[in-house]
Amino acid sequence: MLRQVRAGTPEAAALLDRSTRFAGGVDDEVAMILADVRARGDAAVADHARRLDRREPPYELARDRRDALAAQVAPRVRDALELAAARIRAFHERQVEHDLELVLDGVRLELRVTPLARVGIYVPGGTARYPSSVLMTAVQHRFRADAQLLRTFVAKGELGEIHYAKAGWLRRRTEWDSDEWRRQKRESGGGVVLDLGFQMLDLSLWTLGSPGVTSVTASVHRAKKGDVEDSATAFLRLATGATLTLELTWGLLMEKDFAYLNLFGAGGAALLNPFRLHKGMHGTLVNVTPDLDNARNQYKQSMEAQVLHFVESLRKGSRPMGGADEIVAVMEVLDAVYRSAEQGKEVRLA
pLDDT given at position 266: 92
The CATH number of the domain covering residues in 25-111: 3.40.50.1980
Report the percentage of the chain scoring pLDDT > 70.
76
Triad 284, 286, 287: Cα angle to 5°: 160
In DSSP notation, 235-253 reads EEEETTS-EEEEEEEEEE-
Contact 150, 289 (CB under 8 A): no
Virtual torsion, Cα 302, 288, 276, 210, nearest 10 deg: 60
Q: Please report, for residues 45, 106, 121, 267, the alpha-carbon distance to residue 42 in angstroms, rounded to integers and kept in the order given.
A: 5, 48, 17, 54
pLDDT mean over 286-315: 75
For the ranges 6-10, 137-141, 272-276, 344-348, the one whose mean pLDDT is highest: 344-348
The most confident of the ranges 67-71, 196-200, 213-217, 276-280 is 213-217
pLDDT per residue as tens digits for the range 170-228: 887 765 555 555 566 655 567 888 888 888 999 999 999 999 999 999 999 887 666 78
Residue 146 backbone phi and psi in degrees, to 5: -70, -35
Which of 86-100, 203-217, 230-244, 283-297 has the least mean pLDDT? 86-100
The DSSP code for 293 is: -
Which residues belong to CATH 3.30.360.10 in the chain? 138-348
Between the ranges 50-54, 124-128, 216-220, where is the mean pLDDT highest? 216-220
What's the pLDDT at 325? 72
Mean pLDDT for the stretch of residues 242-261: 87
Separation of alpha carbons 242 and 209, rounded Å? 12
Q: For the chain, what's the residue count?
A: 350
Burial class (CB in 10 A: 0-12, 13-18, 19+), 265: buried
Its CATH architecture, for the domain 138-348, is 2-Layer Sandwich (3.30)
